[in-house]
Structure 1
Amino acid sequence: MTDPEPPATPRRPVTEELHGESVTDPYRWLEESTDEVREWTDAQDDYADAVLDTDQRDALAERFDDLARVTDYGPVTPAGDRLFQSVKRPADEQPVLYVFADDADADVGDPESGRALVDPNDWDGDGTTSVDWFVPGPDGERLAYGVAEGGDEQYDVHVVDVATGETLETLAGTGRTNAGGFAWTVSDGAAAADGFYYVATGSADGGEGSDGDGGDDDTDGDDTDGGQLDKELRHHRLGVDADPDPADDPVVAADFDEQVWPTLETDGDALVVECMDGWERTDLYGYRGDPAAASLSPVLEGHDAVFSATLAGDDLLLVTDLDAPYSRVLSAPVDDVVGADAAPSVPDDFAELIPEREAVLRGVEPVGDRLLAHYHRDAASELVVFGRDGDRERDVDVPAHATVHGVHGADEARGGDAADADSSPAAYFSVQSFASPPAVRRADVATGATQTLCAQDTDVDFDVAVTQEWFESADGTEIPAFVVRRGDVEPDGSNPAVLTGYGGFRVNRTPTFDRFRLPFLRAGGVYVLATLRGGTEYGEAWHDAGRRGDKQRVFDDAVAVASGLGDRGWADPDRLGVTGGSNGGLLVGALLTQRPDLFRVALCHVPLLDMLRFHRFLLGASWTSEYGSPEDPEAFAYLRDYSPYHNAPEAAYPATMFTTALGDTRVHPSHARKMTALLQERNVGPHPVVLRVEGDAGHGVGKPTSMLVRENAERWGFVCAELGVPAAHLDG
């Protein structure tokens, strides 16, 4: 049977002078949203259908449906005398938001013990409308949640009365408002939260949905971000209008720089606004008083450091890397630093509460009269209890090589004998590892003991072994990587293996459980997670070493790990794959163009690949602090040196699958489209280059269960077919 051929793609070169260099783009026309581009996309999908139709995909589709149809539990959020949690039951396409009583009879995770508050499965027939975030009021009487369609991350904010389940208001069209950009307010004398601050942006309609200035050489980004980079901090008062319009809400602050992303923290009265400039520094502003007259005043600004604010009773706590690359906690009375009478602060106005340690501080959560600090040590989680005086009291039990997320603390002791003098407020968190599915735990901060409340019921019927190994990068830096495999798999060079990493934006890649990875591991596969520079797994210096002009170090780190896996017998190049998404898709693109000989198969998801035009589309302009701006001659030079789209030679490329989505409001689909066309043109080897485009998805948020099953069956089926894993070994 003859292998199918990719569809032909017309070359229509556009040449321009950039900083004195002539740069030609042969596929600029694929940036546009036209009938011709849609027809080309349909032809690429047909080609992908033919290539991806393998026995491995068919075997995995049935297996993955079984693996996906188990109950998933989100983190628990306490508020007032209630607990809130998202639970996805086996038949659900989307998680259901439940409320539980915070008492001794509560059986968190059990829908029969709680009450369904919001069920998006009743809203449409295809499951693509999702609840992506929720924030209960401080007293638990009201709750806000964000609804998006097709994963586009453009939210309508709904507010419900928790006791009755009644929807009080819907604030439509707030743009990218999310949990970090939402904060409740409580008026004097009010029985419950009666308003909220929120960060509103424009829609993404100027991106993929626009008809076409993508091919205009003069595009400056303003026409293609749909207003997503235009941000306003507003206040909304509940009950003022039966059909509220965000445009009618008073604006507290506006004119934020396109790289500044405000995050809000409030206790219902005091407001602290974190304005993070790119991924390298934060300015803090605050307000205290009537929200209708809110006006921000500086708290801390002008410092080359990141500050993350938490209001804890009468104190403002700051997690910061100021003079502490691994971060520490500073503290000051709220009254001294927030409000109309507070003068702009300097760091010396804050006392050091928790000094820097030999682990990277990720956050701190108030739990009654204590603080629960979350650390990363060698890219794995630790939890430590401190007193409000900063004295370390004890560790909380967390498995080795595990990741904690969703840490939330209760204000008061509940869930046990109220008369017990030794009872203490609980902390709730989720934990997972490469071998153990996500579980929700309750921690007693007085003792450090934990109790598992509920856990994803996925059966791992084989021994999973995990080691952390180090590989020397090109500049001599030692790069750690987790090597995950079945316990009896030996490094004999014959193993199929998949390498992944991220390397950017201060994002830490830590051990996670993936049920869709299990058949590959069970069949003898090796999964490798590399801790590349660009994250903060080893502090801010680790991040700084992998950005802007030093971005090539990230690719060198990945090459070192890939080469080292072969040297140590974990996987030879003809049995090694690589996968990554978004900034991790840029990583895959760079590896494809710089070292195609190292890999047999590649998965490149929602990627950045044209690094000379990324800033012109959607959120791209906000990433210039991480990558540098192509408008800057110095940055242009190093971006030009590694930009995958501009450095793809004629070569025998690995079997490659690009994926993108028409609803992606972060990374424009043109990156994947143009790179697919280019590699199909320049591939002189026998392996296919395919593109899969999702019509009802975005950058990855809010996908229904059925879509996750189909996508993963295609992706893992492609990997297993190319790496020679027989279908018979995958059906469980």
Structure 2
Amino acid sequence: MRAFLLATSLLAAPVMAQTAPANPNDPYVWLEDKDGAKPLAWVEQENKRTLARLQADPRYQSFYQEALAIASAKDRIPMPSQRNGRILNFWRDADHPQGYWRATTAESYATANPQWTTLLDLDQLSKAEGKKWVWKGANCLQPEERYCLVALSEGGEDAIEYREFDLQTGQFVPNGFRLPTSKQGAAWVDKDTLLVSRDWGPGTLTDSSYPFVVKEVKRGRPLEQAREIFRGDKTDQLGTYAEVLHDADGNRAVLIERRQTFFGGDKHIMGSDGKLVKLDVPNRAFTVGLVKGQLAFTTQDPWGSLPAGSIAAAPLAEVQKGRFTPTVVFAPNSRQSVDGATVTRSTILANVYDNVRGRAMTFTPGPNGWTATRLQLPDNLAVDLASATEDSDTAFVTVTGFLDPTTLWQVDAFGRTAPKSLKSLPARFNATTHVVEQFEATSSDGTKVPYFVVRPRNAPLNGSTPTIMTAYGGFNISNTPSYAATVGKLWLERGGAYVLANIRGGGEFGPAWHNAGRKTKRQLIYDDFAAIGRDLIARKITNPQKLGIYGGSNGGLLMGVQFNQQPDLWKAVTIQVPLLDMVRYEQIAAGASWVDEYGSVSVPEERAFLQKISPYHNIKRSGVNYPEPYIWTTTKDDRVGPQHARKFAARLKEYGLPYLFYEDTAGGHSGDADIEQGARLQALQMTYFAQKLMGGAGQQSASTD
């Protein structure tokens, strides 16, 4: 399941907020000044009103403590990252709320109590430097994987700082690579060379604030002396980035991708002469990795005889010529999708979904083509790739379900040994009282749209069950089953039901499922969601007075549309870190990068559609009985930005409509600066749902004063 109570789905790579030009017809443009004194004073007043209601509810503290206990539990699975024969892991708990990077041996990791060595403690680093550093991952030099670029974000923003770290000494490298905070990407060429995309100064960022100039950065030389390698264009939606791939046989590919649109663009590969050659591939074909001298791709576009959604491969020597004919590795049918793919020493490892149920498969090259093997893992659950490396055929995958705690499996991708269950998450709630069902609803165009229901086994089918429903519906992102630990403890144990909707716009059934709801076809996504709501009511699982919905980011836009279009279907609507002003979205934060998903106001037909569905512009002053929404965002969100949520709440206030608004001061787009923040956001949201759908303390509407 990719949608939790907190919105963690990504709309884009790192960005920085930009200032939109004033619109005299919009009275709340002043709230777009993200860090301005006047908007922040407005936020403070709104927060006081909302917290006074939700935190005063006696259930809030129980929700908070339960969510915090789950997030900080020390018996969670330490998800592995394989680095040069060792296992690395980033870990947060009550003693390390911001987290620390640590390492152990493969042998120790396989035991019940691994012996960890701390590499980098972010709580200590933050205290020493007077900043709240948030972990954003590490990129290590292959094949030795001793030196790594650690990505750190202040307060959770997408803009990051890179610092070189030595895994052997456990220290930052003295006078090593250090790239100041920017929207940026960096790829290792060798120990002394990086290919870097970043803000190089005026004229080097796209209109959506992405870097489009790639330069070669040498050790010991200032950034001002970096040599330009490739330049995209200011009009590109997602910028330009370098990638360096290796395999265990010593092959290497240096690639540069120019993303003219969010979903794809031009690809170039560096030949042995150091010159870049443009690849003759579809815009939405993406590299997976190198294996046995073969460069593997996934494609979201048809490619010769390959259907969209396939895995393909070709010899590296052929790819370096620019024009080549790929070999099909895997072609899905209409109800299948490739959710993820990576490479091991000898294979391509992929998780494939069939009617939203997961399978792990390996594809091994041989003299007669590629051999497909399905790994023997538990069936009818979700499968995700946890860790793989080009240096070994040992990989890790997770298997999980709504009521089945996550298990970590160690697999031999080459098939010499059977998969082994290595670690299991202890049960976080009593799952014996609930049952999982999968249904289909018929949308406005007759399409059957699947969804999952997790409900009390003995609940009467009379419409009385309090139910919360979520979806994402965009950017080719799939919502698949996953162990709902926090939802289970805070909601299911209290007699509630949970619904995950697999609406169009996502990738559950491949590119066609996504493309069906892009741009001016987007109303189908909203119709799918509403159809599932009606189907739940028709099946008497719940009723409109017991049905709540939530979603974040693009899912927050979905919630805003449902609030306007179907106000009678929902009693509660939580709108998380959302897009809501679809007329000005291109001028706020990273909005200009999402034109390939939403369309542009510069195109008359698309502008008309955006005006029609824009939640901010379609609230009616009177004549509609809206549910009281709970809208939350974060000040540090430099991706979507808090501007949308602020303006939506201000419009509701202007019209005298009830609402709750909360803006956290840290955490970025995903609200994850530390475990306390995550627990707080979970508890506030669940208190709201409990008030609305289960009754009790604070169930009255909030004043708009």
Q: Give the TM interval when normalised to the shorter protein.
A: 0.7 to 0.9
Offset at residue 559 of structure 1 (A): 0.6
Deviation digits for residues 457-477 of structure 1 (CA, Å, limit 9, x no counterpart): 453323242111100111111
Q: Which residue of 1 aligns with 2:391?
A: 411
Offset at residue 201 of structure 1 (A): 4.2
Structure 2: how far apart are the matches of 1:175 and 1:131?
15
Q: Does 1:401 align with 2:369?
A: no
Counterpart secondary structure, 2:353: strand
Shift in CA distance, 328/582, structure 1 to aligned 2, threshold 3 Å: same
Offset at residue 197 of structure 1 (A): 2.5
- Equivalent residue for 1:706, pick from 676, 688, 691: 676
Counterpart secondary structure, 1:671: helix
Shift in CA distance, 604/325, structure 1 to aligned 2, threshold 3 Å: farther
In the TM superposition, what are the counterparts of 1:227-306 in structure 2 within 5 Å? 228-238=209-219, 240-241=220-221, 245-256=222-233, 257-262=235-240, 264-267=242-245, 269-288=252-271, 295-301=275-281, 303=282, 305-306=284-285
Q: Which residue of 2 aligns with 1:176?
A: 183
In the TM superposition, what are the counterparts of 1:307-706 in structure 2 within 5 Å? 307-323=286-302, 324-325=306-307, 327-338=309-320, 342=321, 344-346=322-324, 349-357=325-333, 359-389=336-366, 390-409=370-389, 411-412=391-392, 425-445=393-413, 446-447=415-416, 449-463=418-432, 464-518=434-488, 519-649=490-620, 650=622, 651-682=624-655, 688-700=658-670, 702-706=672-676
Contact 2:131 2:154 in 1 (8 A): no
Q: CA RMSD in A?
A: 2.8
Letter in 2 for 1:119: D
Shift in CA distance, 306/721, structure 1 to aligned 2, threshold 3 Å: same
Q: Does 1:99 align with 2:103?
A: yes
Letter in 1 for 2:420: Q
Shift in CA distance, 456/142, structure 1 to aligned 2, threshold 3 Å: farther
Q: Which residue of 2 aligns with 1:60?
A: 63
Offset at residue 223 of structure 1 (A): 13
Structure 2: how far apart are the matches of 1:25 and 1:316?
51
Deviation digits for residues 425-452 of structure 1 (CA, Å, limit 9, x no counterpart): 3112334322234443211221573223
Structure 2: how far apart are the matches of 1:484 and 1:246?
54
Structure 1: how far apart are the matches of 2:225 and 2:635?
31
Letter in 2 for 1:36: K
Contact 1:266 1:311 in 2 (8 A): no
Offset at residue 67 of structure 1 (A): 2.3
Shift in CA distance, 148/50, structure 1 to aligned 2, threshold 3 Å: same
Structure 2: how far apart are the matches of 1:223 and 1:79?
34
Q: Does 1:162 align with 2:164?
A: no
TM-score for both structures, normalised by structure 2: 0.86
Offset at residue 484 of structure 1 (A): 1.3
Structure 2: how far apart are the matches of 1:479 and 1:485?
19
Q: Which residue of 1 aligns with 2:3?
A: none
Structure 1: how far apart are the matches of 2:407 and 2:123?
23
Counterpart secondary structure, 1:609: coil
Q: Which residue of 2 aligns with 1:9?
A: none
Structure 2: how far apart are the matches of 1:35 and 1:459?
42
Shift in CA distance, 629/295, structure 1 to aligned 2, threshold 3 Å: farther
Structure 2: how far apart are the matches of 1:158 and 1:683?
50
- Structure 1, 29-38 or 373-382: larger mean CA deviation: 29-38
TM-score for both structures, normalised by structure 1: 0.83
Offset at residue 625 of structure 1 (A): 1.0
Q: Which residue of 1 aligns with 2:32?
A: 31
Shift in CA distance, 76/399, structure 1 to aligned 2, threshold 3 Å: farther
Contact 2:451 2:499 in 1 (8 A): yes
Contact 1:67 1:458 in 2 (8 A): no
Q: Which residue of 2 aligns with 1:133?
A: 137
Counterpart secondary structure, 2:126: coil
Structure 2: how far apart are the matches of 1:617 and 1:164?
43
Offset at residue 624 of structure 1 (A): 0.7
Structure 2: how far apart are the matches of 1:429 and 1:605?
30
In the TM superposition, what are the counterparts of 1:100-119 in structure 2 within 5 Å? 100-102=104-106, 105-108=107-110, 112-119=114-121
Offset at residue 91 of structure 1 (A): 2.5
Q: Between Structure 1 and Structure 2, how many residues are aligned? A: 651
Which structure 2 segments of 5+ residues have no match?
A: 1-21, 247-251, 698-705
- Equivalent residue for 1:83, pick from 64, 75, 87: 87
Q: Which residue of 2 aligns with 1:50?
A: 52
Shift in CA distance, 201/260, structure 1 to aligned 2, threshold 3 Å: same
Deviation digits for residues 239-275 of structure 1 (CA, Å, limit 9, x no counterpart): x24xxx5444323222344313445442354212343
Offset at residue 174 of structure 1 (A): 4.8
Structure 1: how far apart are the matches of 2:94 and 2:376?
31
Letter in 2 for 1:454: K
Structure 1: how far apart are the matches of 2:427 and 2:133?
26
Structure 1: how far apart are the matches of 2:455 and 2:397?
27
Shift in CA distance, 431/334, structure 1 to aligned 2, threshold 3 Å: same
Shift in CA distance, 75/568, structure 1 to aligned 2, threshold 3 Å: same
Shift in CA distance, 289/228, structure 1 to aligned 2, threshold 3 Å: farther
Shift in CA distance, 543/574, structure 1 to aligned 2, threshold 3 Å: same
Letter in 2 for 1:171: R
Offset at residue 100 of structure 1 (A): 2.4
Shift in CA distance, 113/562, structure 1 to aligned 2, threshold 3 Å: same
Offset at residue 305 of structure 1 (A): 3.9
Structure 2: how far apart are the matches of 1:202 and 1:673?
32
Deviation digits for residues 21-54 of structure 1 (CA, Å, limit 9, x no counterpart): xxx4332332235433222221111111222131
Shift in CA distance, 247/716, structure 1 to aligned 2, threshold 3 Å: farther
Contact 2:298 2:309 in 1 (8 A): yes
Deviation digits for residues 297-335 of structure 1 (CA, Å, limit 9, x no counterpart): 20225x354333422231111111343555222222212
Letter in 1 for 2:356: A
Offset at residue 596 of structure 1 (A): 1.0
Shift in CA distance, 467/308, structure 1 to aligned 2, threshold 3 Å: farther
Structure 2: how far apart are the matches of 1:225 and 1:232?
10
- Structure 1, 397-406 or 610-619: larger mean CA deviation: 397-406
Offset at residue 616 of structure 1 (A): 0.6
Structure 2: how far apart are the matches of 1:331 and 1:710?
46
